[in-house]
Structure 1
Amino acid sequence: MTRAQRGGLAAWAVLLCAFLCLLMLPVSRAVGVMLLLLCIVLIAAGLFIALRRRPLPEDIGSEVLAETLPEAHYRLPVVLCCNLCATDSTAVTVRRVTQGCEIQVARAGDLQHILRQVLQLRPDWGRQLAISVSVNPQQHQDVAALENQLLELRWQIALLRRECGQTLPLLLSSQVAGTCTQTTEPVWQLTTASAQTQVWVAGQAPCAVAQWLQAEGTVAFAQQVLFNTLDAWFNRHVLSVFTSDNADIKPVAPFAVLCALQPQLADTQAKSLWTDWLTAHSALQAVQGWQPAEHAAQSAARPDFIMPLLPAGQGVTPLTRTMRAGTSLFIATGVAALLCSAWNNQAFIHRVAFDLNRYAQIAMADYVAKFAAVETLQQDAEQLDTWARQGEPVGMGLGLYQGGRLHQPVLSAIASYQPPAIPPPLPEDKGQPQPTIVRLDSLSLFDSGRAELKSGSTKVLVNALVGIKAKPGWLIVVAGHSDNTGNATFNQRLSLRRAEAVRDWMRDTGDVPESCFAVQGFGQSRPLANNDTPQGRATNRRVEISLVPQADACRLPDATLPSSQDGDGIKNQME
C-alpha cells in the first residue's frame, strides 16, 4: 500500500472506532471517549510502524530508477533481469523495448532491494513485474558457489512473492557460444509447461523442434545436440536448485526455460563449468570450438518475443488490498455494532420488565411504594413515547429495537393505578376541632408556572397548617391541582412539583419524618369549580393537605407543625 492508502485506512479505522465507542457501546460517554482515545493511540502506533518498516538502501539505484522508470500508467511487462556472472558493478539500468521494459540488476543480492524500490515508486505495477535469471555455464567455474547464488535468489524470490502478494513469474535462461554453435545469429529454444518446445530464429516465425530440424537439416541436428547438452547441464545445476525440496525455502518453479546458441558471449572463462561438463560427457579435452573468440562483444540482448509470453500476475493491487482491508474493518464493525445493539435492547427490556413486575407485586394499599412504582413507569412511558416520535437511539437501532412492544403494557399498567379515596372526616379532639383538609391557593404560594415557594409564603403556610399534626397511623397527603390552562402533562408535573415543595417545607420546618408524608399531583383532572370562568380556575389552582389513616405511617412520637397567630389573607377551608 502507498502512504496515502495506509493513512486513509487508518482514518477509516478511527471513524469506525468512534462510531462504536460513542454510539454503540453500552458505556457512559466519558468511558466511550477514553476508549476512543486508546484506539486512536493504537492505530497511530500501527501506522507509524507500517510506514517505518523495511527501510530501503538509498545507494542501490534509487536515483536511476526515479529518473528512468516509465510513467505510473505504463502497463506493459516490466522484467527485472539478473545475470549471474562475476562483476563488481552495482549499476542499475533501465531499458525500454518494444514489448516492455527491462531493469538490469548487476548483483543478485540486490534483487530484493531493487524490486522494493520499484514497488515504492510504482505501487500499481505488482501484476506487471517478472523476474529473469540468466545462468551461462561458460561464465562460471565453481559449482558450489553458483548453487549458493541460486539458493540466495530462490530465497529472495520466495520472500518477495510473500511480501508483495504477487506471483512474480520467473524466467530462467542460459546461453553458450563458440564456433561449435555453427551460427552467426542467436538461436533460441523456449520450453514452457503449457506448450511444446519452440525454436526461435531471427527473421523467422517460431516453429516446433521437429519442423526446424526438417527445414535446416544437418546443421540443425548438430545444434540440437548442443541444445540437449545445455538442457541436461541446466536441469542438473540450475533448475533442480529452484525446484528441489527444502525445509526452509519454498520451491520457485519457473514458468519457462530459455536456452540460446550464439556466436559470441562476454565474460567467459577459459576453464568453465561448460568445458568441465563437455569433458565429462565426451572424454575430449579443450576442444577449440567450445569457447567463443577472445575479447568477444557483449552477449545478445534478451529477445523481445518473450515479453508477450509472460503470464499476467495474479496478485492484488495496493488499491484492491486497501479496499479489502477497509471492507473487513467495516464488516467487523458492523458485527460489533449489532452485538452492542442487541445487548442494549436486552438491557432496556429487562429494566422495563423489572419495573412492570415491581409495580404488579406492590399492593394498592401500600400507597407510597405504589405511587413510586407508578412514577417509574411514567418515566419509562415518556422515554418510549419520545423514541416513538423522534426515533430510537443509534445504539439500540440497526433493526433490533423492540421498545414498541413495551409501550402498550406500560401504559396499561399506569392506567390501572387507583389513587386512594379521600377519607371521611376524622373525629374531633376534645380540645379543638381537627381539620381533615386544608386548601391553599397556589398563586399565594407560587409564581405562575413555577414550583418554588415565593418569599413571604412561609407565614401563609404556618397560619394555614396550625391544626395539622403528625401522629402514628396517619399519613399527611399533600396533593397539587391546577386549572385546565395549557398542556395537561405539564400541568400534572407542575402540580406534583408544587406538592413536593410544600411537603419539603413541612418536613424541614416541623422536623416531621418523611414517612409521615405522601405526595400527589393530579393536574387538571380533579377540578372543584368550572374552568370556564376566572373565579373557577382560581379555585382549581390549589394545594390540598389532608390526613389519611394508614397503619404503618408515621411511626414516631407526635410532632406538631409550627404555628403562628399572624394570618394575612389566606384561603383556608375546613371540611
Structure 2
Amino acid sequence: MRDIYRALLPALAGLFALWLILGFWPLSVSSQVALCLLVVLVCGVVLWREWRVSQRRHGTVNHVTEDSLPPEDFQGAVILACGDSAALFGSETQHRETRQGWYLRVNDAEQLPLLVQHLSLVRPALVSQISVLLATLPEHHHSPDDFTQCLRGWQRAVVQCRPWLGGLPPVWSVTWVSPPGACVQEVPVWFTTISHRAGIQVHQPGQGNRQLADWLNEIEPSGRFSRLSQALWLNSLLGWQGGQIDSLLTARQGELPALKICAQGFCMVPVSGQANSLWQQHIAGITALPPERVDSADPLPLPELLLPGLPRRRGISRRMAFWRHVGLLAGVFLALVMLASFINNQRLIRSVGDHLALYYRLSGEPPAPKSQAQQRLQADGRLLDDWQRRGEPLRYRMGLYQGLRLVAPVEAAVSDWAPPVPPAPVIQKIVQGPKTVRLDNLSLFDSGKADLKTGSTKLLVNSLVGIKARPGWLIVVSGHTDNTGNPPLNQTLSQKRAEAVRNWMRDTGDVPESCFAVQGYGESRPVATNDTPEGRALNRRVEISLVPQADACQMPDTKPASPDERDVLTQ
C-alpha cells in the first residue's frame, strides 16, 4: 500500500492521455489506435519498472522493517547513526526512539544511500528531518590507516545521498571516551559545540548548560582535581578529533566535497575499549602513560543535547506530493485540451470558409457547380443548427467554440441564390418529360443487402403510381450509393438493388422485360455532399424514370407511337 501513490500517477497520466487522444485531438482512426497502443505500452512499462524498483529496494534494505521506521507524522529529528554506532543499540535493535529523535542504525557505509533512498520513497515527509550522526569510539580502533579509510567510506556514502535529499544532509559528530580513572562518575559529562554558538558548552544532568570557563570557575575544592583532569582530557580529545576527523571530513579530497560539521559532542562515559587502541596511543604519546581499559556492556547515552541545534525545515508528505503531481498533470491536460479545442475550431472555420469562398466564386453558369456548392453550405448549416440546439461536441468547447458566428453567413449564402427555372414547355407537339421517382434505400433495403424488406410493397405502390408501361417509353431503374466502402462493391450493390425493384415492378404489373433498363451507378452520381450523414443518406437511393425510346416497350398488337403524343407527367 505504501507504493500506491507512485502507481497511481502513471495510471492517471495514461487516462488523461487516452482521453485527450480519443476525445479532443483531431486525428484519424488509425492514428488514434496507434497512439492509444503506445500510451498503454508506456504506462505498462513504467508500472513494471516501479514494481521492479520496489522489489529491489525491499531486497537491498531488508534489515529495515516497517516497525523500525518512524511514522510519517513524526515531528522529531530522524538520525541515521553511522560509524561506530553499534554501541548505541542493543545486539538485536535497529532503532531507538526518544522524545526528540528517532535513531536508525546503519551497519555499513553501503547501506546508508540505500536507506536514504528507501526513506525518501516511503517517508518523503521526513526527508527534511534527516541528519547523519557520525559516531566515533577511538577506543575501538587500532590502525590509523584503517580508521581513515573507514571515515572516507562514510564520507563517500553521505555524498551519495544527495539525489534523494536534495543536497548534502546535516552531518554532526559525537565522540565517546572513557573519563580519567579518577573521574569516573555515575552520570556522563557532555561537552558540546554548535556551529552558530560560541565556545564549548558543558552539560551535567540537573545542572543545565554552562560555558566551559564558567564550569571551571565553579570548581569546589573537593572536586578541583576531577574537573581539571576532565578539562585536560577534553583538550587532548579536541586535539585528536581535529587531527583524525575534522581535517579529513572538512577538506575536499578529489571528487569528494568537504562536509560541514554542524555540531559536535564529546561524552565522557565508561566505554568498553580494546588494548592498544587509538585513544591509548594518543594519550601515551602525550603523557607516556596509557589510560586504563574499562569494561561496560551498557548502551552508550544518546546525544539528545545536540538535537535542538540541528537545522530543520518542513517536509512534504506522500499525499501532498501526490496531489501536487496530480495538479500538474491536470494543468498540462487542460492546456492541451484548450489547444486541441482551438485547433478544432480553426479547422471548422477554415472548412466553412472554404465552402463560402467557393460558393461566391462561382457565377452560376453553368448552374450545376454552384448548386453543388450550395448543397455543401446547406449541410454545414444543418450541422451548425443541430449543434446550436443540442450543444456542440466536447472537442469544440472550453469557451472557444466559433460556430455561432458562422450561422449567419451560411444562412445568407444559402438564401442568396437559386438555380435558374427551366424554360416553359412548348405545347405544340412537345410534351413535358416524365417524372423521376426517387426511393430511399433505407426504406426498401437493409444495410448492405439487395433484397426488398418486408412491408416495402405499400411504399412502392404509392411511389410508382405515375410510372406506367407505355409503348415508346423505357422505364429506367438506376441504383446509387454513398462513398462509404469499396467502390466496386458499391457499384455491384446498386445494380442488384435496381434489379430487385425492376423485378417487383415486372412481376406485380405484368410488364414485359423489354420495358425496363437497369443501371447501377454506385457512388459516381451523388446528389448531395458525402461529408455529412444527411448528404450520404440522400445519396443512397433508387431512381425510376421514363425515357423516350421509339422501339421500347412494344406490346402485342400495339402500334408504335411517338413519345411526343403521350400525356405524361413532368419532373
Q: TM-score under structure 2 normalisation?
A: 0.72
Where do 1:87-486 residues align within 5 Å? Answer: 91-115=92-116, 124-163=125-164, 165=166, 168-179=169-180, 182=183, 184=185, 185-196=187-198, 197-216=200-219, 220=227, 223-246=230-253, 248-262=255-269, 264-272=270-278, 274-278=279-283, 282=286, 284-285=287-288, 287-288=289-290, 291-298=291-298, 300-426=300-426, 433-439=429-435, 454=460, 460-461=466-467, 463=469
TM-aligned CA distance change 1:204 to 1:545, over 3 Å: same
What is the identity, as a one-letter code, of the residue corresponding to 1:454? L
CA contact (8 A) 1:435 1:467 kept: no
Secondary structure of the corresponding residue to residue 195 of structure 1: coil
Structure 1 residue 79: Cα displacement:
2.3
Structure 1 residue 402: Cα displacement:
1.6
TM-aligned CA distance change 1:355 to 1:2, over 3 Å: same
Identity over aligned pairs, percent: 22
CA contact (8 A) 2:128 2:165 kept: no
CA contact (8 A) 1:169 1:313 kept: no
What is the identity, as a one-letter code, of the residue corresponding to 1:204? Q
Question: Given the alignment of the two structures, is residue 37 of structure 1 paired with residue 37 of structure 2, yes or no?
Answer: yes
Give the Cα separation in 1 of the matches to 2:29 and 2:439.
Answer: 37
TM-aligned CA distance change 1:418 to 1:59, over 3 Å: closer
Give the Cα separation in 1 of the matches to 2:356 and 2:37.
Answer: 39
Secondary structure of the corresponding residue to residue 245 of structure 1: coil
Which region of structure 1 is more displaced relative to structure 2, 356-365 or 244-253?
244-253
Give the Cα separation in 2 of the matches to 1:385 and 1:374.
Answer: 16
CA contact (8 A) 1:189 1:199 kept: yes
TM-aligned CA distance change 1:380 to 1:29, over 3 Å: same
Secondary structure of the corresponding residue to residue 418 of structure 1: coil
What is the identity, as a one-letter code, of the residue corresponding to 2:49? I
CA contact (8 A) 2:133 2:173 kept: yes
Structure 1 residue 371: Cα displacement:
0.9
Q: Deviations over 1:295-353 (max 9, x none)?
A: 34546311433344443355433223322322222222222222222222222221111
TM-aligned CA distance change 1:60 to 1:457, over 3 Å: closer
| Structure 1 unaligned residues grouped into runs of 5+ | 471-500, 521-542, 548-558
CA contact (8 A) 1:92 1:103 kept: no
Secondary structure of the corresponding residue to residue 94 of structure 2: strand
The aligned counterpart of 2:494 is: none
CA contact (8 A) 1:341 1:396 kept: yes
CA contact (8 A) 1:24 1:340 kept: yes
The aligned counterpart of 2:517 is: 509
What is the identity, as a one-letter code, of the residue corresponding to 1:305? L
TM-aligned CA distance change 1:354 to 1:269, over 3 Å: farther
Q: Deviations over 1:13-36 (max 9, x none)?
A: 122112111111211345324322
Give the Cα separation in 1 of the matches to 2:554 and 2:160.
Answer: 101
Question: Which of structure 1's runs of 4+ aligned residues deviate more than 6 A?
Answer: 455-459, 467-470, 510-514, 517-520, 543-547
Give the Cα separation in 1 of the matches to 2:373 and 2:6.
Answer: 55
Q: TM-score under structure 1 normalisation?
A: 0.71
The aligned counterpart of 1:564 is: 553
CA contact (8 A) 1:56 1:117 kept: yes
The aligned counterpart of 1:528 is: none
Give the Cα separation in 2 of the matches to 1:223 and 1:190.
Answer: 14
Which region of structure 1 is more displaced relative to structure 2, 110-119 or 391-400?
110-119
Q: Deviations over 1:120-151 (max 9, x none)?
A: 76565434433311113332232332222222
CA contact (8 A) 1:188 1:199 kept: yes
Structure 1 residue 404: Cα displacement:
1.7
TM-aligned CA distance change 1:91 to 1:164, over 3 Å: farther
Structure 1 residue 418: Cα displacement:
1.8
Give the Cα separation in 1 of the matches to 2:471 and 2:141.
Answer: 119
Structure 1 residue 233: Cα displacement:
2.9
Structure 1 residue 390: Cα displacement:
2.2
